[in-house]
Amino acid sequence: MLNAQPPASSADNPFFRDWTGPFGMPPFAEIRNEHFFPALERGISENRNDVLAIAGNPAPPTFANTIEALDSTGDLLDKVQGVFSNLAGAETNETVEAVSRKVAPMLAALRDDQMMDPKLFARVKAVWVMRNSSGLTPEQVRLTDETYKSFVRGGAGLDSAGKDRLRSINRELSTLSVRFSQNLLKETNAYKLVIEKREDLSGLPAGVVAAAADAAKRANLPGKWVFTLQAPSIWPFLTYADNRELRRQILIAYTKRCDNGNEQDNNQVLYRIAALRAEKARLLGYETFAHLTLEERMAKRPEKVYDLLNQLWTPALGLAGREKSDMQAMISAAGGGFQLEPWDWRYYAEKVKAQRYALNEDEVREYLSLDDVLKGAFMVANKLYGIQITERTDLPKYHAEVRTFEVKDSDGSLLGIFLTDYHPRPGKRVGAWSSRYRGQRIRNGKDIRPIVVNVCNFSRPTAGKPALLSPEEVETLFHEFGHGLHSLFAKVRYKDLSGTPRDFVELPSQIMENWATEPAVLSTFAKHYQTGKPIPPELLAKIDRAGKFNQGFLTVEYLAASLLDMEWHTIKSEPKTDAAGFEKAALSRIGLLPEIYSRYRSTYFQHIFASGYAAGYYSYIWSEVLDSDAYQAFKEKGNLFDPNLARAFRTRILERGGSEDAMQMYKDFRGREPSVAPLIQKRGLSTNTQ
């Protein structure tokens, strides 16, 4: 049952007043660490009291006084969480981490109290039973359906003992996921490969060496070079460093994160998470946690996921085997006298690529300054949708490196505010993501526009050079910007229909990657950082020819992680081995090449143990089927910026959120269900050639 609690109070807390600055931006300069917990506490209390009032309403239940009323609750909590959760990922500190640990079980309890309140569920069910005969719009029927399902899946139908156990499971899971994430951040930040001898830098491009020197200065190690486990540091090192032993050291450190028997060890944490999830699924009447999760996604059931992954696994493994042979031949020809190991793969792949295509990634970087790439992403959005993106230097920001932009539609109306935060810091978790400080919603007839942020960990500028991106980082920037556009274009009446299934949400992001790598588009924004000259046609041709290179490796390491995720979440009870043994057995069953590590090992697989991708990491490849097929539609038109097709993609997919079935939205755009053929062709998995 829900229980009312007195609200907290604080006269100077900025969360307790209206934000009247430009666009209602959070007043970051006024927000202090001590404001978070009282604001979260009050937000939880207000939300609880609002829901209690709905449950206790003496009037007969209707869509307006029950379903719509529930959707309208939680404004203060949304406001606080919008800031707190984003800063916890991008600009955390010990105080924020402590608040995260304290508030996680409180939020879990709030949701459980709502989902398991019998009076509230009775009202929801009453509206749901009459949903098709109450004159509701299709969107209102969908909201009613989704609300009812969330109650059932939240334990509303359990008996008293079942509800108590589910509460206990959810409370423990909420704290374990926070612990997993915080352990990973600490373990990632703790490692430094310190190089003192210049000869150990052999093979590394000048820009990589300069970045390592800057990192050493920040670590109070002037005159030395520091490499870390952050993506802009470790991957160039593994790609170019001639020192094989140092490559081994840094890759082992990366793959052993949170697996070192210390305070940050995640083995027991993830083992417990997996066991609790399996128990939760059984309690709710599902065979496994994957069955529980996938019911609300496009895949619907685990078998469909395995079907797709297995369809790609065999050709990808075969292609990776041929790539391995090419590299081993190069090692033997050079008199290496050793077998290829995981720490050799990127290094020799780069050499094979240079030999086969005369393509040097460091040369390509010189045409991919961060500013130019960002302008390129904005240009693509403008040509597709007519939107205008203008930098605003007068808006509040949470860190000096953040940039803020006003986004206007083609008619001049406001679409939203867009923030970028592109470089690694000790307080920022690894990876790249898009999020919202405020989501789009309708309140009292007013369309409140979103505040969206892209957070990444790209290469930093160095002395005399701007931030120069790798081709992979360019794709990441376009990817996250695609998520940002999805949020900025939203036109959804109800906030509970703003989300889309996990295996559909990557479509808007991944389709943007296609324009990023299209030679005709790349040539318009890739300019040399010194001369300003456009990228030469011959270099573009090399990039295009090498487009399918190393796809065996990239596909296998990704699919291995996706299959590992599914293995953890199709267990029916607590695993009979420890976490390390479970992972080893899972990867052995699929025949993963020993020269390739899974993209994520379990102990640092944040997507599935501390984020929303549990039984869902497959979503990227599932969505790649969608994005490859959708992009093919533009290619079939003969115009990559066809205005009618772009308008259809916007209105039938980007604007709709979760207000309609995902497959139906796709069919509304494409006229049919997606084909896997464009993906097979794109990754080069249908042929023996590279």
Query: Which tokens sit at 86?
Result: 């984003």
| Cα gap 319→684, rounded to integer Å | 9
| Cα gap 8→21, rounded to integer Å | 25
Give 539's contacts (C-beta < 8 A, 6+ positions apart). Answer: 359, 363, 364, 367
What residues are labeled active site? 480
Neighbours of 410 (CB within 10 A): 11
Q: What is the DSSP secondary structure assignment for residue 296, as one 8-state letter?
A: T
**Start-to-end CA span in the chain (Å):** 61
Which phi and psi (to 5°) does residue 468 adopt?
-110, 125
| Cα gap 275→248, rounded to integer Å | 33
Q: What is the DSSP secondary structure assignment for residue 358, as one 8-state letter?
A: -
- Asked if residues 395 and 404 have their Cβ atoms less than 8 Å apart, the reply is yes
The per-residue b/e assignment along 508-517, b for 16 or more CB within 10 angstroms, e otherwise, is bbbbbbbbbb
Q: What is the DSSP secondary structure assignment for residue 535, as one 8-state letter?
A: P
Helix ranges restricted to H, 116-205: 118-129, 138-153, 160-190
Neighbours of 90 (CB within 10 A): 20
- Asked if residues 81 and 158 have their Cβ atoms less than 8 Å apart, the reply is no
Query: Which tokens sit at 264?
Result: 């940050």
Tell me the β-bridge partners of 442.
Answer: 447
Please tell me whether residue 446 adopts helix, strand or coil conformation. strand
Q: Which residue has the tokens 């009291």?
A: 49
| Cα gap 234→240, rounded to integer Å | 10
User: ∠ CA 20-22-25 to the nearest 5 degrees?
Assistant: 75
Please tell me whether residue 417 adopts helix, strand or coil conformation. strand
Q: Which residue has the tokens 């990559």?
A: 640
Nearest to residue 440, comparing CAs of 496, 362, 501, 392?
Answer: 496
Query: Which tokens sit at 165?
Result: 């156990």
User: ∠ CA 146-132-300 to the nearest 5 degrees?
Assistant: 35
- Asked if residues 407 and 414 have their Cβ atoms less than 8 Å apart, the reply is yes
| Cα gap 566→234, rounded to integer Å | 28
- Asked if residues 584 and 565 have their Cβ atoms less than 8 Å apart, the reply is no
Half-sphere exposure of 162 (CA within 13 A, CB side): 17
Please tell me whether residue 445 adopts helix, strand or coil conformation. coil
Q: Which residue has the tokens 């990441």?
A: 476
Please tell me whether residue 387 adopts helix, strand or coil conformation. coil
| Cα gap 216→212, rounded to integer Å | 6
